[in-house]
Every structure is written in structure tokens, then in C-alpha cells.
Structure 1
Amino acid sequence: MFNRDTWLEIAHTVLSHPLRTALTGVSIALGVFILVVMQGLGFGLQNGVEQQFADDAVNSIWVQAGRTQLAYKGNQANKQVKIRENDVEAMFAEMDTVYASSRRIRKWGVQMEHGDQAGSYPIRGVDPDHQMLENTKLTDGRYVNQRDIDEETKIAVLGQTIVDEIYQGENPIGTHIIIGGVLFSVVGTFNDPASRWENKMAVVPYSTAKKLFRGGRDKVDQVILGTGDMKIAKTITLTDRLLNWFKERKSVHPEDSRGIWMNNNNEEYQKYQNIFMGIELFIWGIGLLTLLAGAVGVANILAIAVKERTKEIGVRKALGATGLSIVGLVVQESLALMLVSGCLGLVMGVGLLEFVSPFIDHEYFQNPQVDSRIALVALAVLSVVGVISGIGPAIRAVSIKPVEALRDE
């Protein structure tokens, strides 16, 4: 298999028709190149989307009120629906198990000051489970806890953008920051690489935000529910049941899609997984069809080569060459052409992705690289296709009789 003279002979045979060999090699290299680049781009898109899901717990359901589209039970269209704390408590009573939950109060454009630095940023009033439901990664300090909720403490957890712009290198833990004219103690910081928007937020206890920024009113902007290890089908059933319950409780028309809004992250994540699986199968289909076209080209080249070398093959058999050695020679030629061309396409595809990767900076498209397993699979496919491509011409070569071959020309 690895005889030096044999491989020199294969190289001479393949290179004896440079144009024919080059055209076939280019088709194979182009097929692998397209496969690698498309896989890399699909991988980059998948990374970006999964990073966005990493920003929130996948096993969660989000509840939010909006404006009605349809008049219903005495309520006019375009009426603002409001979720109250007693609605949240009643919703919990409708659930068999509450794995985790957090109410949210949102306020935009709040003035924040520390020393001579100031800026306008949004804040969120949350419950302790919010850290898990939002997948918040602390970089220092701690998060909101139940004692903060019970005692309405004036503590804040700052996003990395606020730390960079307001503190400018100073460690914020243990310092004070003025938020909306009220002095807060900074107890923690967090960084969310998946969302620049999250890093511009300051998080405070829900009860504190309600008292200071809502005047004690019990309006809840959002509710996040954790679904634990529930099966996706059960979370879908739960979401539909809670949505219908909420619409009935708040007198929202059953067909109204804006009055009460619920998002099941379990279901959404599964949808994206299915989409990317379909994209990956499509990419592999295109790549394999392209490789198949290249394999047909290789088979044609070898068939022509066998025809041209009929007399040579006859001489080999007359001198005692076995059928297996002739089959091995033809198959090795096919394999060499497939692997050399395929590796060239693989290197070009990986090189292109490595070149463009540093210039791509988008939340929904990150790190377009090729998985090493895909490269190994591509090489394995090339090897198999190379062997298959050489079988037909090899059988033709073995069937040549020495007497007929020597008489052929």
C-alpha cells in the first residue's frame, strides 16, 4: 500500500494528463470547500442563537401584559392590560409546582451618579430567582437575596457597562451609587457577553424598586417562571393553560394575541434546534452531492486511463501481476486524487473561515469555525468515495486478458 515506487507511478499517471486531472481535482476541492464554508457559517449562526438563549434559562416561561387588540366583556380595544401582584399569586396557585419565579419591574433612563461620573441607564427590580432565570454570571460580590426583598434594602448589582463607564477602573463593591436620586450600596457586578444590552442594567430588589420608583403600586411588568425538568410537551400544555386562565381573569378576548403575551423558552429553543438540524442536513446533502459529482469525474478519468493503459495492464498480467495488485493500483490512484483534492478544499475552507472570523462581531453570528469532527467525517467520506470511484475501472482492468491486451494496439 505504501510502496514508494507504486506511489511514484501513481503520481506519474495522474500528472500525465494535467488538464483533465486539474479540472476533476478542482470540482472535488470546490465541493469540500463549499461544504466546509457552509458548515462553518451554519455553526456561527447556531453559536449566535444559542448564545442568545444562554442569556436566559431555556427552561422558563415569560409572562407580560400588553394592549388589547379586540374589545371584550366591556373592555375596549387598545386598553392597557396590567398584571398585579395578586394576579401573580393566583397564577402560582393554578400551578402544580412553582420551580422558580421572579417578578420584574423595569424603568428606563434612570440617572446614576458616582463621584464626578454620571450616566443614564435602565434598572430592573427583581426577586432572588431572577439570577438563575436570567442566567446572570456574577463577576464579583453577590446578587439580590430574600432578605433584601423582605427589608426593602437599597442595594444594587451593576452591569459591566455601568462599571466601566461610571467607575472607570475603580472596584465598585462596597461603594455607593446614586440611582434616581437615592443612595444605593453596590454589592455585586455581572457581565453578560451574550447581550450588551443586559450589561447596561442595574439590578435592585423588587420591593425596593416598587417602593422608590413605583410609589408602592403593585403593577408587575413581567413574570418569569422556571419549569425545572418538565418535558417540553408539558411546558406547552402549561403555557396554554396559564395563557387562557390569564385572559379570562383579565377579560382579554381568547383570540387576542397582544393583551397577554407568554413566551415558552423550552418550545422556542426546541424549534431552533430543529431548524439548525434541518440546515445541517441540507448542507451535508449539498456537500455530498458535490462530492458525488466529483467522484463521477474521477471514475471517468480512471476509466479512460484504464482504456489507454490496456496494453500496459496486459503486459503486467503476462508477467505475473495478480488481479488484486491491479485493483489496488487503480483504487490507489482514485484515492490519491480524491484525498489530495479534498484536503486542498478543506484547507482553503478552514483558512477562509479563520480569516473572516476576527472581522465578524454580531450577537447573532459568532465564531464561524469548523468542528474537527466534521473535518474527520469529510476525510472519511472522501476516502470511501475514492475507493468506490476506483472499483468500476479496477474491475474493468482486471477483466482484461493479456493476449487481447497485447493484440489491442
Structure 2
Amino acid sequence: MFDLDRWQEIFQTLSKNKLRTALSGFTIAFAILLFTLLFGVGNGLKHTFEKQFASDAVNSVYIYGGRTTKPYKGMQSGRTIQYRNDDEKFINEKFEKEIQFFSPNIQRSMQVIYKGEQNRYTVRGVYPDYQPLESAVIQDGRFLTYLDIERRAKVVAIGRLVEKDLFGNLGGLGKNLNIEGISYKVVGVFNDPGGDNDERYIYAPFSTIQGMYKPNDELDYFGLTFNPEMNVDQALAFSNLLTTLLKEKHNVDPRDQGAIRVRNYAEGTRDVQSFMLVLNVIILFIGIGTLVAGIIGISNIMVYIVKERTKELGIRKALGATPKSIVGMIMLESIFVTALAGYSGLMIGVFTLRALGDTLEKYFILNPSVETYVVVGATVVLIIAGTIAGYIPAKRASRIKPIVALNDE
């Protein structure tokens, strides 16, 4: 393997046959390059769908009220379904085992001022349980607590971009914001994987916001997460039963689709998982096809190379070369060319994906990349194929008698 004379001989052979070497190397490099790009684009599509669901927990359920579209039990259509605090108690009593986190929500657009800076932001009155629903990650301070709810404290947790807008590089933790004429202390700053929009929210205690802006215990909607041990079918059955019971409580026709609206992320997750499974199968099929094409190309080239060198091999045998040394030389040359070209194709593919970067976002391809083990595995497969492709014709050629090889045309 590390015989210097043999390696010198291999390099001399390659340098004397530049076109042949270039063609065989190109076939291998192109196969790995195409394989890398295909998997990179496929991963980019997966990243896009993952980002769409990053703004909320994958087991989230949101319950909204609407207007009735059908008359029911003597009541006219067009009634507005208004949720109140007793709906919160009703839901938690009926589904105690199915619910993991739960929070009512009041949402308003408000003018927020800090010294000379001001802007309008969406302020949400929530429970502490709302944090995992939105996948908000605290970077400074803390989120809301149930003690804040109990005391109706005038405190807020603000998004990273709210802090940037109003405080610049000074940081907002511990400072006071003027929200619609009322002073609130900033107790936490969060970031959110959902992106810029989700980082421009302000969260305040639910009891504080409800007491100021919602008479008669009114609220806007509910957010909850279901037990993560539930599978997709169980989660969908849970949300369907929840919808049915809320319709009964609010005297809504069971066929009315507009009055009680329940958005269950489990359904979207199932659809995405199905789509990604199909996408992975397609990419895998194309990738395997690419590798098979590369293997066929290597095999054909190696057969041609060995046939072209029949006279050379005959001379070697006439000068005393053993069949084993001839086979070893051809295989080593095959492995070297395959490994070098495969690595080159891999590097070109990886750098191409990095160069494209975010430029493919408009085509719904986010951060196209490929796992190292995937392309390394594909390269190893090609190297093994190149070894086998070199061994079979080399073994056949090593059995030819020198006189026959020398007379070969």
C-alpha cells in the first residue's frame, strides 16, 4: 500500500493518460456533486417547513370564537361567541388529563413609549403557561409568574426586537415602559425561533390586562398544549371533542363551522410529516439513481482502461510481474482516483450549498445543507464500487498469457 515505487508508477501512468484520468475522475466527482446538491436542497425544504412550525409548540391548540352561521334553539344566526373565565374552568375540568399547558389570552395593539422612542406593539395578557406555547426563550430576566397574576402586577416580558427598537444597545431589563399611559416594569427579554414578528410581542399578566380592558371577565381566545404522549389521532380526537363540547355550552349548531374555531397543530404536523416522508423517498430514490449511474460509469471506464492497457500488462507479465501485483496496481489506481475525485465532488457540493445560502429562500429552500455522514457514506460506496470495478477486469487481465496480450490489437 505504501510502496513508494508503486505510487510513483501510478502517478506516471495517470500523468501519461491525462484525458482518461480526467474523464474517470469527472464521472465520479459529478455523481457525488449531484448527490450532495440533491440532498442539500431536500434538507433546505425540510428546514423551511420546520421554521413554519418553530413559532409555536408542535402540540399547540388554539381556541377562537367567531360568529354563528346557523340559527339554533330559537336563536338567530350572526351571534358573536364571547369566551369568559368560566370557559377556562369548563375546559380544564373536562380535559384535565389531556391538557399540558393552558392560558387564556387577551390581545390588543397599544402605543408603547420609552423616553423619546415610541411605537405600536401587540400586547398580550397571558398566563405563565403561554411561554412554551410560543416557544419563547428568555435571554434576560424572567417570564411572567403566577405571583404576577395574583397581584395583578404591572410587569411585562418584551421581545428582543422591542428592546432593540426602544432601548437600542442599552438593554431594557429593569426599566419602565409607558403603555397607553400606564407604567410597566420590564422583567424579561425573550427571543423566539418564529422570527421577527414573534419578537415584537409584549407579554403582560392576564389578570392585569383583563382588569383594565375587558369587562365581565371577557377574553379573546385560549391557547393550550395537549399531553405530548398523545399520538396524532388521539390529539385530533381530543380537539374534535373539545369543539363539540364548546358548541353545546354556547348553544351552537353542531354543523356550524364558524362559531367555534379550534386550530390543532397536530393536523399540520401530520401533513408535514407525510410530505417530508414522500420528499425523503424521492430524494433517496434520485440519490441512489445518481450513485448507480456513477457506479456504471466507473465500471465502464475501468473495463476500457484495463483493455487499453492489455499490451502493457502483457509486458509486465513477460518481465516477471505476478498476477497479484498487476491486480493490486490497477485496484490501487482505481481507489486513488475514485477517492480523490469523490472528495473533490463532495467539497464542490458543500461549498456550492454554502455559497447559495439564503439566496434560495424565495424558492422555499432555507439553509440548504447536507449531513457529513450522508455524503461521506455515498463517497465510500463509490470507492467500494470503484474497487470492485477495477478488480474484476484486472483479475481477468492478469490471467491473460503474455504472448496473447502482446498480440492484442
Fold shared, TM-score > 0.5 on shorter chain: yes
Shift of 1:119: 0.9
Structure 1 residues 270 and 391 mapped into 2: Cα distance closer, same or farther (>3 Å)? Answer: farther
* Conserved 8 A contact 2:27-2:298: no
- Asked if 1:101 corresponds to 2:102, the answer is yes
- Cα distance in 1 between the residues matched to 2:248 and 2:21: 72
Shift of 1:111: 0.6
Name which of structure 1's ranges 362-371 and 214-223 shifts more when overlaid on structure 2: 362-371
Shift of 1:121: 0.8
Q: Which residue of 1 aligns with 2:295?
A: 295
Q: Which residue of 1 aligns with 2:129?
A: 129
Shift of 1:318: 4.2
- Cα distance in 1 between the residues matched to 2:258 and 2:337: 60
Q: Which residue of 2 aligns with 1:142?
A: 142
Structure 1 residues 385 and 111 mapped into 2: Cα distance closer, same or farther (>3 Å)? Answer: same
Structure 1 residues 174 and 300 mapped into 2: Cα distance closer, same or farther (>3 Å)? Answer: closer
- Cα distance in 2 between the residues matched to 1:189 and 1:145: 14
Q: Which residue of 1 aligns with 2:183?
A: 183
User: How far does the alpha carbon of each residue in 1:156-209 deviate from its partner, in whole angstroms, 9 at most, with x for none?
Assistant: 111122211122233433332221232222222212243211111110111222
Q: Which runs of 5+ in 2 are unaligned?
A: none
- Cα distance in 1 between the residues matched to 2:320 and 2:181: 98
SS at match of 1:153: coil
Name which of structure 1's ranges 351-360 and 182-191 shifts more when overlaid on structure 2: 351-360
Shift of 1:248: 3.8
- Cα distance in 2 between the residues matched to 1:41 and 1:323: 46
Name which of structure 1's ranges 201-210 and 381-390 shifts more when overlaid on structure 2: 381-390
Structure 1 residues 226 and 170 mapped into 2: Cα distance closer, same or farther (>3 Å)? Answer: farther
- Cα distance in 2 between the residues matched to 1:33 and 1:76: 65
- Cα distance in 2 between the residues matched to 1:313 and 1:77: 93
- Cα distance in 1 between the residues matched to 2:70 and 2:326: 80
* Conserved 8 A contact 1:52-1:195: no
Q: Which residue of 2 aligns with 1:338?
A: 338
* Conserved 8 A contact 2:314-2:400: yes
Shift of 1:272: 2.8
Structure 1 residues 302 and 133 mapped into 2: Cα distance closer, same or farther (>3 Å)? Answer: same
Counterparts of residues 102-117 of structure 1 (less than 5 Å):
102-108=103-109, 110-117=110-117
- Cα distance in 2 between the residues matched to 1:313 and 1:405: 7
* Conserved 8 A contact 1:175-1:186: yes
* Conserved 8 A contact 2:28-2:382: no
Structure 1 residues 216 and 5 mapped into 2: Cα distance closer, same or farther (>3 Å)? Answer: farther
Structure 1 residues 120 and 4 mapped into 2: Cα distance closer, same or farther (>3 Å)? Answer: same
Q: Which residue of 1 aligns with 2:213?
A: 213
* Conserved 8 A contact 2:247-2:254: yes
- Cα distance in 2 between the residues matched to 1:262 and 1:199: 24
Letter in 2 for 1:36: T
Percent identity between matched residues is 34
Letter in 1 for 2:58: V
- Cα distance in 1 between the residues matched to 2:23 and 2:77: 67
Counterparts of residues 236-251 of structure 1 (less than 5 Å):
236-251=236-251
Name which of structure 1's ranges 39-48 and 174-183 shifts more when overlaid on structure 2: 39-48
User: How far does the alpha carbon of each residue in 1:12-66 deviate from its partner, in whole angstroms, 9 at most, with x for none?
Assistant: 4445444444344333322222222232233334334334434322333232234
* Conserved 8 A contact 1:105-1:209: yes
- Cα distance in 2 between the residues matched to 1:249 and 1:363: 45
SS at match of 2:212: helix
Letter in 1 for 2:31: G
Q: Which residue of 2 aligns with 1:50?
A: 50
Shift of 1:67: 4.4
- Cα distance in 2 between the residues matched to 1:254 and 1:336: 71
Shift of 1:368: 2.9
- Cα distance in 1 between the residues matched to 2:207 and 2:363: 32
Letter in 2 for 1:103: P
Shift of 1:123: 0.8
Structure 1 residues 203 and 14 mapped into 2: Cα distance closer, same or farther (>3 Å)? Answer: same
Structure 1 residues 8 and 297 mapped into 2: Cα distance closer, same or farther (>3 Å)? Answer: farther
- Asked if 1:89 corresponds to 2:89, the answer is yes
- Cα distance in 1 between the residues matched to 2:123 and 2:261: 22
Letter in 2 for 1:379: T
* Conserved 8 A contact 1:327-1:398: yes
* Conserved 8 A contact 1:36-1:350: yes
* Conserved 8 A contact 2:35-2:375: no
User: How far does the alpha carbon of each residue in 1:372-399 deviate from its partner, in whole angstroms, 9 at most, with x for none?
Assistant: 2223223222212212322432343234
Q: Which residue of 2 aligns with 1:60?
A: 60
Letter in 1 for 2:394: A
- Cα distance in 2 between the residues matched to 1:42 and 1:248: 45
Q: Which residue of 2 aligns with 1:157?
A: 157
* Conserved 8 A contact 1:85-1:220: no
- Cα distance in 2 between the residues matched to 1:78 and 1:13: 86
Structure 1 residues 356 and 305 mapped into 2: Cα distance closer, same or farther (>3 Å)? Answer: closer
Shift of 1:112: 0.9
Structure 1 residues 74 and 381 mapped into 2: Cα distance closer, same or farther (>3 Å)? Answer: farther
* Conserved 8 A contact 1:52-1:363: no
Q: Which residue of 1 aligns with 2:5?
A: 5
- Asked if 1:384 corresponds to 2:376, the answer is no
